[in-house]
Amino acid sequence: MAQKDVEVILMRQLASYLAVPIFLVDPAGNLIFYNEPAERLLGRRFDETGEMPLGEWSTIFTPAEESGEPLAASALPLAIALSQRRAAHRTMWIHRLDGEARRVMTTAFPLEGQGGRHLGAVALFWEEPTL
């Protein structure tokens, strides 16, 4: 495993203490961590999946528009936070690895280090309650 910036290490540690599902990606969009609440949401432990490139994680969790149409990787809040270095929010569907669909609200923001170094992005998920 490559050496990580201290800010990334601290963000990962913070995420491990929070009750909200969190994804952490590096500047290239590679998934480098998701916490235990995200494991429950996705249906797979991070220890089982490990780090994944953007092209893999953006399709393995099958994100979809509200209409059910597949959501392009570039339209994901995490991808927007990475490419445009700004916060992004969207309500979408994801399909767990067991195929079960979940409606989630996602907010992502860029992660920057000292001196404005681009370190990646973070996404937080809130599952929409079912009626």
Tell me, what CATH number does 76's domain have?
3.30.450.20
- Examine residue 35 and state whether it is found in any structural domain, yes or no: yes
> Taking the model in full, what pTM does it have?
0.87
- Examine residue 61 and state whether it is found in any structural domain, yes or no: yes
Number of domains the chain is built from: 1
pLDDT of amino acid 2: 66
Give how far Cα 125 sits from Cα of 65, 101, 114, Å: 15, 14, 26
pLDDT of amino acid 112: 93
Q: Which domain holds residue 81?
A: 6-127
Q: What is 79-131 written as a DSSP string?
A: HHHHHH-S-EEEEEEEE-TTS-EEEEEEEEEEEE-GGG-EEEEEEEEEEPPP-
User: What CA–CA distance (Å, rounded) separates 36 from 32?
Assistant: 14
- Examine residue 79 and state whether it is found in any structural domain, yes or no: yes
Can you give the pLDDT of all 131 residues of the chain as single tens digits? Answer: 567 889 999 999 999 999 999 999 999 989 999 999 999 888 889 999 889 888 787 777 788 998 889 888 889 999 999 999 999 999 999 888 788 888 999 999 999 998 889 999 999 999 876 65
- Examine residue 1 and state whether it is found in any structural domain, yes or no: no
